[in-house]
Every structure is written in C-alpha cells, then in structure tokens.
Amino acid sequence: MKKYLIVIDQGTTSSRVVLIDSKTKIIDQDFIEIKRKDNNNSEVLTDANEILFSVNDLLKRLFQRNNLDPKLVSSISITNQRETTVLWSAKTGKPISDAISWQSKHTNYITDKWIELGYTELVFDKTGLLINPYFSASKIKHLLINNNSDINNIKFGTVDSFLIYNLSVEKNHYTDISNASRTMLFNINNKEYDDELLELFNIPKSILPKVLSNDSLYGHYQYKDTLIPIIGVAGDQQSALFGHLCTEVGESKVTYGTGCFILTNTGDKPKYSNNGLLTTIAWDLDNKTTYAMEGSVFMGGSAVGWMKDKLNLVNHANESEAMAYESNNDNVFVVPAFVGLGAPYWDNEVQGSILGLEANTSKLDIMKATLNSIAYQVADILNLMKNDTKIDIKSIAVDGGASNNNYLMQFQSDLINVNLIQNVESEITSLGVAFMAGLKLGLWKSIEEIKNLQKIKKIFVPIVDQSKTNKLYRKWRKAVEVTRMFKEEKQ
Ligand code: ADP
C-alpha cells in the first residue's frame, strides 16, 4: 500500500514541497525562497531556471531527509502561482527569457490596445475574464514580440506546465484546465483554446500546452530507479478551494493574506458577474467540470501592515486582535484605498481615508476600524457574488495570515451572517491537489472520507443582531462614498 503523497507548491515568493500521509496529515515540508529580479522599470520578472532548480532541490531534499522510499510515494502533485508566463525551448526545455510574474502590469500597452479594439465583451463571454495584463495572453504576446527565436522551437506554459515539461521523463507539454482558464485564451464554455481569440491576438496555437483535467496523469518523475506518477495539478486559488473541500454549490473560501482572494463554487455551469468579478473553471474531475466566481480585495492584511509600518500602531500584526477587543468605538471608519478600490467600486483614483475621529478616539479604535475595513471589503465582494449568481453562500472556509485574528473572523461572520470555518492545517493550498490525486488513485474513496479526516480548528458563528451589522455596513458604504467624493473635489 502506497503511503505518501508529495505536493509541489510553486508560489510567487517561494517554492515549497509538502509530504502528506494517507490520513491527509502533513508530515514534512520545506521551502526555498524565490527572488524577484531587480529591474529599472515596472516589469516584475523571475528567473524561471531558479524556479526549476528550487523545485528539483526541494524534491531531492525531501526524499533524503525523510529517508523516503520512492516506491511508497503514490503521486507528485503541483499547485502554482497562476498566470505567470514562461516561454522555453522545445529542444532544451530551458527558458528563453525570464518568467513574467502575474503581478507585472507592463504589458498593459498590449491590453489597452485590445480594449480599444473593442474585444472586452468577446473576451469576457468566452474566457470569463476582464482584459487585463494580469492574465497570460498579453505576457505571451510581449515575449513573442521581443524574441526572435524560431517559433517552431518555442513552448509556452504557466509555471505548472513549465515544471511538468522539465520534471516528467516524457517531457510532456501539458497544463491543467484551471491554469488554462487564466491565460485569457481558453474558452471556459467549450473547454478548448479559442481559435477566434488566438487569431485576434495573433498567438500561434502550436506553442500552447495540451489541456488536461486536474486528475489526469501528467507524466512521471524519476527518483533513482522509480517512476512516480505526476497527478493532481491546479492553480493555487482553485487548489485552495478544493483543499477546503468546498465541493458543493455556494461553498466559499476566503484567503486573508496581503490581499484577500474570494472564490465561490458556482456548480457545473459558469455564472457571470455584471460587476467585474471573474468566472473561472475551478476544476475538472471525474469528467465533471465545476466553475467558480472569483473576486479579490487589494488591501487585506496589508492594511494592518500599513498601520504597523507607517503609523507604528503595533510591532506585530497579531497585536491588532487585542487592540480591537479593547476598543468599543464603532464610529471610526478606515477606507484602505491605498492603491484604489476594486469591485464593486473599480476606482483607481480614490485615496485612503480615516473618518469619524473625535477628541477621545484612540489608536485602539483606528486599529479596530482597520480590521473592520478588511471584513467590509470582503462583504462587498460576497454581496456581489450573491447578487450576480443568485446563489446563497452556505459557509466560508478561511485561511491566510489575517485569518488567525479572532476579532476579525467574528466580525466577518457577524457582518455577512454566515459561519466561518478555520481548518487546523495551514497548508490548505497543497492539500487541494493532493486530495485530487488521492481520490483518483483510490487512496480515499470519497470527499466524505476526506472530510472525516480533517480537523476543524474553530467555527465562527454569527452572534450579533443583524440590524446592528446592517447599520454598520450602510455606514461603511457611506464612508467609501464620501472618500470617493473627496477625490472628485480634489480634481
Ligand atoms: P501572503 O501569503 O499574502 O504573503 P500571509 O497569508 O502570510 O500573506 O498574511 C500576511 C498578511 O496578514 C500581512 O499583511 C499581515 O499584516 C497580516 N496579518 C498577519 N497576521 C495577522 C493577524 N493576526 N491579524 C491581522 N493581520 C495579520
């Protein structure tokens, strides 16, 4: 009986490997930091070789330090930062340029043109995405424009695909459907690359990886004389949704990190938003496709970081919890629009504000208002999702640094009147693809069986009267409105 599953979690700032046993318990993990390449302009680049070397090193280290018999490893799964774009040589597998990070916006000269040409609606209908440099398409285009390699020798892939190509003995040029659906080239309705978009963008189909369902066999990784199947591949946010076992319609997850990422399972049909949220394929398992709606908050935990670094309100972000509990002021509002506001406001010009200050307002109150602002912004997105999908949000699984803040979680639960569930395990993203692989390989028979193996740390249940929180929420919307007016008057 094979006992272990390995997951590679290739992220923006680090590569990580995780070793999981058949009880879904994480028994070892290791990571190597990945440097962002310094550069004089606005490009955010990473050396793709560094990504590959780090993963190779981590895998070897994991086998060695656990004295792990490769014959006992049932699979290697991959979850990864999404949209980051690599082009490599078909002959050598070596990158022909740096990887362009999802964070890089310097290809907006291309996306601006596509918007000008009127492609917005077409792209949204086909891909569920808004034309934006964030997605892979314009990054591919930029690399093709600036590279004179023979097109027949070029392969494109997101990080999953680049790793599969280089780690599999078969040198398979594959990607999974959740990563493909973030390229802005993939039609999420018929689940194929879209020929019309490829033609409009002038991107050759021949360089694109073949798209497989998440639980397909992607190839084999060789360790010593053992071939280990690569099974279970998904983009990080989708993998986290599955890791939280949000497999039913209306189940959501919120990651409270630097920003907040919110995904809701919308079932077997794509649901579209009228307010700038994205529609994406969550996964394709057992020949069944599940879709999700996705939204994000720009300033999440980083709003607390700003209060720490710029106003020195705390030495560590976790001190904010006790401060918030000590304050009994509900009249201060922080609108953390440090980099504008996303959905539903979509306002790039608005700047941040603190409202409702009085003679006796203290730093405790400002900190509480900062935490509240994270919850209000997440509520803004969840309310949009509810309206746009007509799906009731049943429960919310939470993770990320700021999800450890009990005050914030309780306030969030009260505000949206939904239970919030915290798992004991923090590496939820890795668990997602491991679950996909384990289910496929029969290590676990069902989602139910996995559910029974999971340990819940805490469930936050709404306790405050809804009329009180509704009043507060209305005041938040007013605070945003007033803040946006200030910008308009300034101009
Ligand atoms: P990322 O993965 O995006 O780098 P993390 O999930 O590690 O981020 O979360 C870090 C962010 O969460 C930081 O911006 C930090 O300010 C905030 N944070 C961490 N712990 C807490 C806490 N206990 N309360 C509030 N905010 C927190």
Which numbered atom of ligand 1 lies nearest the CA of 318?
A: 23
C-alpha span between 243 and 237 (Å, rounded): 10
Indicate which residue's Cα is closest to atom 23 of ligand 1.
318
Q: How far is the CA of 406 from the centre of ligand 1 (A)?
A: 13
Q: What is the DSSP string of 303-358?
A: HHHHHHHTT---SSGGGHHHHHHH------EEE--BTBB-TTT-BSS---EEE---
- Top mutation candidate among 13, 101, 258, 339 for ligand 1, by most atoms within 8 Å of CB: 258
Q: How far is the CA of 331 from the centre of ligand 1 (A)?
A: 25
- pLDDT-derived band at 298, boundaries 50, 70, 90: confident
- What is the DSSP code (8-state) at residue 452? H
pLDDT at 415: 96
Indicate which residue's Cα is closest to atom 26 of ligand 1.
402
Q: How far is the CA of 258 from the centre of ligand 1 (A)?
A: 6
Which numbered atom of ligand 1 lies nearest the CA of 13?
A: 4
- Higher per-residue pLDDT: 12 or 215: 215
Q: What is the average per-residue pLDDT within 249-264?
A: 94
Give tens-digit pLDDT for 320-372.
999 999 999 999 999 999 888 888 888 888 899 999 999 999 999 999 999 99
Q: Judge whether 452 and 264 are in contact, CB under 8 Å.
A: no
Q: How far is the CA of 303 from the centre of ligand 1 (A)?
A: 9
Q: How far is the CA of 116 from the centre of ligand 1 (A)?
A: 38
pLDDT at 105: 86
Which numbered atom of ligand 1 lies nearest the CA of 404?
A: 23
- Top mutation candidate among 405, 406, 408, 423 for ligand 1, by most atoms within 8 Å of CB: 405
Q: What is the mean pLDDT of the chain?
A: 94
Q: How far is the CA of 233 from the centre of ligand 1 (A)?
A: 26
Q: How far is the CA of 295 from the centre of ligand 1 (A)?
A: 18
- pLDDT-derived band at 47, boundaries 50, 70, 90: very high
Q: How many other β-carbons are positioned within 10 Å of the β-carbon of residue 357?
A: 13
Q: What per-residue string of b and e applies to 264-297 under the rule 16 or more CB within 10 Å gives b?
A: bbbbeebbebebebbbbbbbbbeeebbbbbbbbb
- Top mutation candidate among 236, 304, 422 for ligand 1, by most atoms within 8 Å of CB: 304
Q: How far is the CA of 485 from the centre of ligand 1 (A)?
A: 30
Which numbered atom of ligand 1 lies nearest the CA of 11?
A: 2
Name the phi and psi angles at 389, rounded to 5: -100, -15
Q: How far is the CA of 301 from the centre of ligand 1 (A)?
A: 5
C-alpha span between 298 and 341 (Å, rounded): 7
Which tokens go with 409? 């979680």
Indicate which residue's Cα is closest to atom 8 of ligand 1.
257
Indicate which residue's Cα is closest to atom 25 of ligand 1.
402
pLDDT at 155: 96
Q: Which residues, 6+ apart, have CB-to-CB distance to 191 below 8 Å?
A: 177, 211, 281, 284, 289
Indicate which residue's Cα is closest to atom 13 of ligand 1.
301
Which residues' Cβ are closer than 6 Å to ligand 1?
A: 257-258, 301-302, 304-305, 317-318, 320-321, 400-402, 404-405
Q: How many other β-carbons are positioned within 10 Å of the β-carbon of residue 205?
A: 11
Give tens-digit pLDDT for 119-173.
999 999 999 999 999 899 999 999 999 988 888 999 999 999 999 999 999 999 9
pLDDT at 270: 94
Which numbered atom of ligand 1 lies nearest the CA of 321?
A: 24
Q: What is the average per-residue pLDDT within 288-310?
A: 94
Which tokens go with 178? 């959740």
Q: What per-residue string of b and e applies to 101-119 under the rule 16 or more CB within 10 Å gives b?
A: bbbbebbbebbeebeeeeb
Write the single-letter amino acid at 77. Answer: S
pLDDT at 103: 84
- Higher per-residue pLDDT: 273 or 487: 273
Q: How far is the CA of 30 from the centre of ligand 1 (A)?
A: 20
Indicate which residue's Cα is closest to atom 21 of ligand 1.
402
pTM for this prediction: 0.92
Give tens-digit pLDDT for 68-92.
999 999 999 999 999 999 999 998 9
Q: How far is the CA of 359 from the centre of ligand 1 (A)?
A: 31
Give tens-digit pLDDT for 87-104.
999 989 999 999 999 888
C-alpha span between 36 and 101 (Å, rounded): 9
Q: How far is the CA of 481 from the centre of ligand 1 (A)?
A: 27
- Top mutation candidate among 79, 256, 308 for ligand 1, by most atoms within 8 Å of CB: 256
Q: How far is the CA of 17 from the centre of ligand 1 (A)?
A: 21
| 303 pLDDT above the threshold of 60 | yes
Which numbered atom of ligand 1 lies nearest the CA of 305?
A: 16
Q: How far is the CA of 317 from the centre of ligand 1 (A)?
A: 7
Indicate which residue's Cα is closest to atom 12 of ligand 1.
301
pLDDT at 349: 84
Q: What is the average per-residue pLDDT within 461-471?
A: 95
Q: What is the average per-residue pLDDT within 425-451?
A: 95
Whether a cis peptide bond, with omega within 30° of 0, leads into 209 is: no
pLDDT at 2: 66
Q: Judge whether 11 and 55 are in contact, CB under 8 Å.
A: no
| 487 pLDDT above the threshold of 80 | no
| 224 pLDDT above the threshold of 80 | yes
Report the candidate in 435, 440, 473, 468 with the shortest Cα–Cα distance to residue 453: 435
